[in-house]
Copies of this chain bind each other. A is one copy, B any other.
Amino acid sequence: MIDYKLLEALATVVETGGFERAGLALGLSQSAVSQRIRTLEIRLGQPVLVRSPVLRATPAGQRLLNHVQQVQLLERDLAKSIPALSEPAARLRIALNADSLATWWAAAVGEVSTREGLLLDLVVEDQDIGLRRMREGDVAACLCSSPQSVAGARCVHIGTMTYSPLARPDYVRRYFGKGLNELSLQTAPAIVFGPNDQLQHRFLAQCGYHGTFPHHLCPSSEGFVKLALAGMGYGMIPELQAHAEIQAGRLVSVAPEHTLEVSLYWHFWRHGGGVMERLTNALRSAAILHSTG
Q: Is the contact region of chain A dominated by helix, strand, or loop, or is it mixed?
A: mixed
B102, B219, B230: which contacts A124 (Cβ < 8 A)? B219
Q: Tell me the chain A residues, 176-235 only, with Cβ under 8 Å from chain B.
A: 189, 195-196, 211-212, 214-223, 226-227, 229-232
Q: Is A106 an interface residue (CB 8 A)?
A: yes
Shortest A162–chain B CB gap in Å is: 18
The answer to whether A195 and B101 touch across the interface, beta carbons within 8 angstroms, is: no
Q: Is A89 an interface residue (CB 8 A)?
A: yes
Report the separation of the CA atoms of residues A109 and B16 in the bound assembly, to the nearest whole angstrom.
36
Report the separation of the CA atoms of residues A103 and B223 in the bound assembly, to the nearest whole angstrom.
7
Extra inter-chain contacts (5) besides given A16-B195, A25-B212, A101-B218, CB under 8 Å: A17-B196, A106-B230, A107-B229, A122-B216, A123-B217
The answer to whether A217 and B122 touch across the interface, beta carbons within 8 angstroms, is: yes
The answer to whether B196 and A102 touch across the interface, beta carbons within 8 angstroms, is: no
How many copies the complex holds: the figure is 2
Q: Is A45 an interface residue (CB 8 A)?
A: no
In the bound complex, residues from chain B placing their C-beta under 8 Å from that of A220 are 98, 101-102, 122, 124, 220-222
Shortest A52–chain B CB gap in Å is: 13
The answer to whether B218 and A24 touch across the interface, beta carbons within 8 angstroms, is: no
